[in-house]
Chains A and B, each alone.
Chain A
Amino acid sequence: EIVLTQSPGTLSLSPGERATLSCRASQSVSSNYLLWYQQKPGQAPRLLIYGASSRATGIPDRFSGSGSGTDFTLTISRLEPEDFAVYYCQQYGSPPYTFGQGTKLEIK
């Protein structure tokens, strides 16, 4: 099983700042199968990034993904008020299709 470890657990920033979220895998993940989601309270997750670096439909360009192998990063260039949420990475290249434990992005 591929274990995904996200850091930090909580990130406190202000609107307008840059956010950098990390996802580290216990073994190599094909970049094609690395995803990032945003989840707000009471809502289903929303796909942000697929293939480690491609934005999903309708996702603003302030969201970007990068990385390969075992280290992946989600960057939000300038935080908007609506970006404060929980973010998850996921791999679906090798079953079980594991998620990271999440990073909570909160307003400072």
Chain B
Amino acid sequence: EVQLVESGGGLVQPGGSLRLSCAASGFTFSAYGMNWVRQAPGRGLEWVSYISSSRSTIYYADSVKGRFTISRDNAKNSLYLQMNSLRAEDTAVYYCARRNIGFDIWGQGTMVTVSS
């Protein structure tokens, strides 16, 4: 079964750091670009970051540029998002999503809450 499973969310204080992981299974992870997308409570979807299959191309939303770092380990079939200098407005469910013809596979999401 093709699957993405996020982990690493939780409660963190403003200014703190968190590292999210996304474990892929059921497909050749190294062949696909990957994304992080987030959704604040009761709000719409916001694209956060993209990394190509070979790690040669990386993009970020302006709202996270300089604070978040996307990475991947193709040997471990895993995608990561290192989040530093977290703010209250970063509170959201974070999804990883495979880029194929569209973002065709999504994980179930992991909740990140930034609060003191």
Contacts and interface: CB of A to CB of B under 8 A. Distances in A.
Contacts of A44: 95, 106-109
Interface in B1-56: 35, 37, 44-47, 50
Task: Classify chain B: how many residues form its interface, as a range.
Answer: 20 to 34
B87 interface: no
Contacts of A95: 50, 59
Contacts of B106: 44-46
Contacts of A105: none
Given A96-B62, A97-B35, A47 B103 contact: yes
A46 to B, nearest CB: 8
A47 B102 contact: yes
Contact of A50 (B60, B61, B101, B107): B101
Given A47-B103, A90-B103, A99 B109 contact: no
A15 interface: no
Contact of B44 (A1, A56, A92, A101): A101
Contacts of B108: 44
| 9 interchain residue pairs of minimum CB distance | A50-B102, A44-B106, A95-B59, A97-B47, A99-B45, A35-B102, A50-B101, A102-B44, A47-B102
